[in-house]
Amino acid sequence: MTSALIWDDGQLKYDFGPQHPLKPVRVELTVSLIRATGLSTAQGVIELPREPFGTDEVLRLHREDYVEAVQRHSASPDLGGDLRYGLGAGDNPVFPGMHDAGLEVCGASVAAAKAVWEGRAIHAFNPAGGLHHAMPDRASGFCIYNDPAFAIDWLLRHGATRVAYLDVDTHHGDGVQSMFYQDPRVLTMSLHESGRYLFPGTGFTEEIGFGDAAGTSLNVPLAPTTPGEVWFGAFDEVVPAALDAFQPQVLVSQLGCDTHATDPLAHLALTTDDYLELAPRIHRLAHDHADGRWVAMGGGGYQIASVVPRAWTIFFAELAHSRVPTEIPWGWLAEAEEVARTHRMDVPPTTFADGPVRLSPDRLEVARREATGAVEALKRSAFHLLERW
């Protein structure tokens, strides 16, 4: 029951600059915490490098003129970007080496998919991945190239006929949905803050796939301040039934932790206590519905020291058939506190668990009502198509 961490030591190149919220240090802190807790050397855990991934590969899913624009601005960032391709805006500022940096992230997610499909690992995790907003013809939402889509594409090209993608980021997984919206071999499921309130403004219950793929795109939009207890109610109504009907050979998951109540860019109200519950839920689903094959990536999360490393270490512990300790190792805390001071962000707590979020009865009722309405609408729009699968 080997589990793989996909990681190459060395500074991450996917870096939009010091003022941008997607800071690579959050991934470096995650790997540091995984190692500090002893998970990287636990029995059955291996570290694997990313796979080679070049321009020919990225052209499988991204349009040639877009890739050429990324290459051009990667070589000459002083050009300032090209808004036709989503480059140079506040979300996606161009930077030197951007093209190669995006390829490296894709290569790491492909390495996770390859390790699982070829049987070298039953589970694999790329913490630097999860760039789920990138579209075939443009950058979007901090995402240049869509590494989850390339992991799925690799699986389909190497023998998989049914792949399920589960996205728990607070933002809708619109890029992955778009790339497989007409492909009946891929089931995409996304639970997220409603597009009525949050970028990218999509992910509604009527978005169910097209043609032969109708019913293979499932979205659960949720109200701001939705807490874990309501979030799990929606999850349990949709995800197990969809997987039971689809019967995938592999489960691919994007584990964005910007659902956290303190995240500065979004408004859901989950905590690390909820991630401690969610991780074994997804693990069980992988074994119940995909012969245990679980490919995981990081994603959103903008509390770079106080939340992201704890959240993804919790998930990796589950991937590694282990558990996190109650307390954060002191040596790691000193490192994380220095990063937090440098970036003027919250310092991490001393424990992995947060404790519950408390909402007013009125706010909780709104969250429940919207979640129930979303689930019922999704069942009406898509669940009658489950039998076709």
Which residue shows structure tokens 């129930």? 372
What Å distances lie between residue 74 and 15, 67, 96, 320, CA to CA? 12, 10, 5, 37
**Burial grade of 351 (CB within 10 A; 0-12, 13-18, 19 or more):** middle
d(CA 242, CA 248): 10
The sign of the CA dihedral 253, 19, 225, 378 is: negative
Q: Are 137 and 66 in contact (CB under 8 A)?
A: yes
Residue 133 appears among annotated catalytic residues: yes
Containing 163, the helix (H) or strand (E) segment is strand 163-167
The token pair at 239 is 């995800």
AA letter at 7: W
Q: Which residues lie closer than 8 Å to 360 by C-beta, 6 or more apart? A: none
User: First vs last Cα of the chain: how many Å apart?
Assistant: 30
d(CA 153, CA 6): 18
What Å distances lie between residue 148 and 110, 139, 155, 364, CA to CA? 8, 14, 11, 33
d(CA 185, CA 175): 17
d(CA 237, CA 378): 10
Which residue shows structure tokens 């991937």? 319
d(CA 116, CA 62): 25
The one catalytic residue in 62, 99, 123, 133 is 133
Which residue shows structure tokens 């310092």? 347
**Burial grade of 68 (CB within 10 A; 0-12, 13-18, 19 or more):** middle
Residues that are catalytic: 133
